[in-house]
Amino acid sequence: MSVRQGLLALLAETPMHAYQMRQQFEHRTGGTWPLNMGQVSTTLDRLVRDGLVEPADTADADAEVQRYHLTAAGRDELATWWATPVVRSTPARDELSIKLALAVSAPGVDVRTIVQAQRTETMRAMTDLTRLKADLPASGWSSEDLAWSLVLDHLVFAAEAEVRWLDHVESRVARAAAEGGTSDETAVSRRAAATARATAATAAASGGAR
């Protein structure tokens, strides 16, 4: 999630002050990615420093808050962002993936119990998301309704994928247990090979993005 580009997108529509940007960002994303004023202020300072945003002239000299608008360079950067796909070469630090990756090699940890507990939590989240989708109007959607609906769809699809992955983890762990696992030497070799492949793929993707 890029706060920088998000603020540029909002300012492309109309000049705003920092609090309006925070409100609009959270409103349009359904509060899924809340911002604090420190984030907004720090990002604004950097945008001004980089020449992408500048203070807007105001007819009210006594205005208590400063509004901002995009510069030509800011519009160019925003246009580039719209046109550029999000690069997936570097995996995000996902807590669940890290937790299970460590759990499978931690002595005395019951991985299947962790998986079952997580599946229950993810299913609960899916139920909540489905309930939120049901609250959307049946017709006559505004652009804000559509934006929120798309965010909800993404979260539901991600939760469904997580449940499928948890099923896969449980199956792999059960199969490994039935086969008696693998030797430490073989496991280290496999991890080293996987790391080398991931590093090569990342380098190739980064080179192609330049």
* 143: confidence class by pLDDT, cuts 50, 70, 90: confident
For the residues 184-200, what does the mean pLDDT come to? 46
Say how many CA atoms lie within 13 Å of 210 toward its Cβ.
5
Query: Which pLDDT score is estimated for 116?
Result: 95
pLDDT for residue 104 is more than 60: yes
**Which residue in 21, 39, 37 sits closest to 29, CA to CA?**
21
Domains of the chain: 3-83 (1.10.10.10), 95-209 (no CATH)
- DSSP labels for 135-192? TS-SS---HHHHHHHHHHHHHHHHHHHHHHHHHHHHHHHHHHHHTT---HHHHHHHHH
CA dihedral of 30, 33, 34, 40, whole degrees rounded to 10: -120
Query: Which pLDDT score is estimated for 194?
Result: 52
pLDDT for residue 55 is more than 70: yes
